[in-house]
Amino acid sequence: MSPIAHEEVQAIAQEVFAAMIDGEPESLVPWPDAGTGSDAVVAWVDVHGPWLGRASLETSTPAAHELARALLSMEADETVPREDVVDALGELANVVGGNVKALLPEHGTLGLPNVADRLPDGHLAAAVQRVPLAWRGHPFVVTVWEVAEPTVSVREGER
């Protein structure tokens, strides 16, 4: 049984969006799980320690750009440099992952965030919570993964 409940993951994501992006928890709402499409962006952080796992955020590329603009207080029509989109999504994953880690019965350490168009090969974890949400009509999926054995390949610092 997962030490982390679905409702806890959703509450963390909503708190993060309320504090860092929109100022209100209602901006991130439950959504039917239809995936994020072919132009997905995934940000994740790994948790090392007695519990081995990963927290990932997945959204569409347009949503990632809009999120970066919101985080950086940019105008709606401003172009966001790719490195800013990567950094913004990575930081969101870092904050969500850090708060997920705090729910664990035994404390571990948090890796540095990574951002890519998909999770890396050798991703041997099983999803223990998948929380499909929507932000401003865009899909935003938070997933907590658990690794049974310490064999997950971690590529840190690839911002």
**Would you tell me which residues interact with other proteins (CB under 8 A)?**
15-16, 18-20, 23, 68, 71-73, 83-84, 87-88, 90-91, 94-95, 97-99, 101-102, 107, 110-113, 157, 159
Q: How many CB atoms lie within 10 A of CB 130?
A: 15
Q: Which is nearer to other proteins, 130 or 159 (CB)?
A: 159
Mention every residue, 6+ apart, whose C-beta is less than 8 A from residue 151. 122, 124
β partners of residue 110: 47
Smallest distance from other proteins to CB 156, Å: 8
Smallest distance from other proteins to CB 140, Å: 15
Q: Which is nearer to other proteins, 68 or 142 (CB)?
A: 68
Smallest distance from other proteins to CB 12, Å: 9
Closest among 140, 86, 153, 141 to 114, alpha carbons compared: 86
Q: Which is nearer to other proteins, 122 or 157 (CB)?
A: 157
The CA distance from 154 to 53, in Å, is 11
Decide if 81 contacts 158 (C-beta within 8 A): no
Smallest distance from other proteins to CB 109, Å: 8
Q: Which is nearer to other proteins, 37 or 103 (CB)?
A: 103
The CA distance from 134 to 19, in Å, is 17
